Chain A
Amino acid sequence: MKQIIIIGNSAAGIAAVESIRNKDSDCRITVISDEDYTAYCRCVLSYYLAGDVGEDRLVYRGQDFYKNNNVDLILGKKVVRVDPKKNQIVLEDKQKLDYDTLVIATGSSAKLPELKGIQKRGVFGLRTVKDVKEILGLLPVAKTACVLGGGLIGLKAGYALKKRGIDIKIIVKSKQILSQVLDKTAADIIQGHLGANGLEILTGLDAAELLGNGELKAVKLDSGKVIGTEIVIIGKGVAPNIGLIKDTAVKAGEGIIVDKFLKTSVENIYACGDCAQTYDFVLEKYQVNALWPNAVEQGCLAGRNICQENSEYLGSIGMNSVEFFGLPVVSMGIAREEAGMEVLSRLDANNKIYKKVILKDNCLKGVILLNRIENSGIYLELIRHKADISSVKNELLNDTFNYAKIMDLLGKDETIYLSSAGGTHV
Chain B
Amino acid sequence: MKRLYYDIEKCMACKTCEIACCVGHSLSKDIMKAIFEEPLSLPRIKVKEKGQKPHPMSCRHCDEPRCVMACMTGCLSKDKKTSLVLIDKNRCVGCWMCVMVCPYAAIRPDQKTKIPVRCDMCKDLDMPQCVKSCPTQAIIWCEEEELAKK
Contacts and interface: CB of A to CB of B under 8 A. Distances in A.
Interface string B1-45: 001111111100000000000000000000000000000000000
A400 B46 CA distance: 11
Contacts of A374: 99, 105, 108-109
B69 A420 contact: no
Contacts of B100: 319-321, 330, 332, 373, 376-377, 380
A293 interface: yes
B9 A326 contact: no
A419 interface: yes
Nearest to B54: A404
A266 interface: no
B103 A328 contact: no
A375 interface: yes
A403 B93 contact: no
A312 to B, nearest CB: 14
B138 to A, nearest CB: 9
A321 B109 CA distance: 12
Interface stretch (A39-47, A157-165, A228-236): A39-47
B111 interface: yes
Interface stretch (A23-31, A53-61, A356-364): A53-61
Contacts of A426: 8-9, 53
Contacts of B55: 402-404, 417
A322 B95 contact: yes
B94 interface: yes
B134 interface: no
Contact of B72 (A53, A61, A292): A292
Contacts of B101: 293, 319, 377, 380
B9 A376 contact: no
Contacts of A418: 5-8, 140, 147, 150
A57 B91 contact: yes
A381 B101 CA distance: 8
Interface string A408-426: 0000000111111100001
- Which bucket holds chain A's interface residue count? 35 or more
- Which bucket holds chain B's interface residue count? 35 or more
Interface string B75-106: 00000000000000001011111011111111
A377 B74 contact: no
Contact of B111 (A292, A297, A326): A326
B48 interface: yes
A380 B8 CA distance: 25
A57 B92 CA distance: 9
A323 interface: yes
A403 B55 CA distance: 9
A143 interface: no
A49 B99 CA distance: 24
Given A293-B70, A400-B49, A323 B94 contact: yes
B99 A43 contact: no
29 contacts: A41-B72, A41-B74, A42-B72, A57-B73, A60-B73, A292-B70, A293-B69, A297-B69, A300-B69, A319-B101, A323-B94, A373-B99, A374-B99, A374-B108, A376-B99, A376-B105, A377-B66, A377-B101, A377-B102, A378-B103, A378-B105, A402-B55, A403-B48, A403-B57, A403-B105, A403-B106, A417-B6, A417-B8, A426-B9
